[in-house]
Structure 1
Amino acid sequence: MSDKLSLAEFESFLDETCDTLRGNRDAAEFKEYVIAILFLKRLNDRFNLEREVRRNKLIAKGLSPSQIEEDLERREVYRLFVPEIARWEKLKLKKEDLNSYLMKVFAETDEKNRGCLGALNDIDFNKTSANGENFITNSDLVELIKKFDKMKLTDEDLDF
């Protein structure tokens, strides 16, 4: 029996998450937010794995803790770099003004990775409806982050 997440389980999780959070809103209006948070979680999980492997190599080389920490913050040693503002451990503690915070997270992540985010960088977490309400509320974002926090999204954790 595999502990890895299957494609069917993942699809079910996404469907359930979207249905729970979007309420009576159209799925098309809501999916970009779910995809953005999914991408951010996957990026963080892969970055953390790379970072831990790198940390172990630097320890084996006998570098001091300060040298190790300095090296671990070098953008060029990662395939995709997660700036401190975008790190999952920091993001999941944020409970206020997540809409604006996520706009900064994606802008800085895109900047640090030479424009790799494409359309994800254009997602407007502050977008409002005709009646002036946010398409996605702060509490929706807190819940979405909580749901994704339960998942591990490294290659080793996925069965697809």
Structure 2
Amino acid sequence: MTGPAVDPVTGPAVGIVLVSHSARVAESVAELARGLAAGGPQVPLAAAGGTADGGLGTSAERIVTAAREADRGAGVVLLADLGSSVLTVKALLLDEELPAGSRLADAPFVEGAVAAVVAASAGFPLTGVLSAAEEAYTYRKV
């Protein structure tokens, strides 16, 4: 990851954390989102996938570390793939273990991640990035 995205008018960009049961899935979705948002400032984006030993699962420690890495003071939007990753993020939010301004998006993982990264790179505030991710549920394919 490069330095923080800072727009001279709006200030620091909202950070984004992708939480998956698989490190490879989280990293691949981050790569896709970055690629599709090319042209704007680099958004603080961190992948928190898998367990500490490289297996499938969810690691609270990895999520906390990723959220702190992505936090630039403008808030952090977390997108989780399914099941225990969602529950783990909810527990971390409830226990106030994530940076202030952290929010879990109720969004599809891939489409929501792309929408969030594009919105953050355009300088949207936390609520705008969260809304962009959540509106991804309305993307119709037929």
How high is the TM-score relative to the length of structure 2?
0.30
How high is the TM-score relative to the length of structure 1?
0.27
Which of the two has higher C-alpha Rg?
Answer: 1
Structure richer in strand, relative to its length: 2
Higher relative contact order (CA 8 A, sep 6+): 1
Structure richer in helix, relative to its length: 1
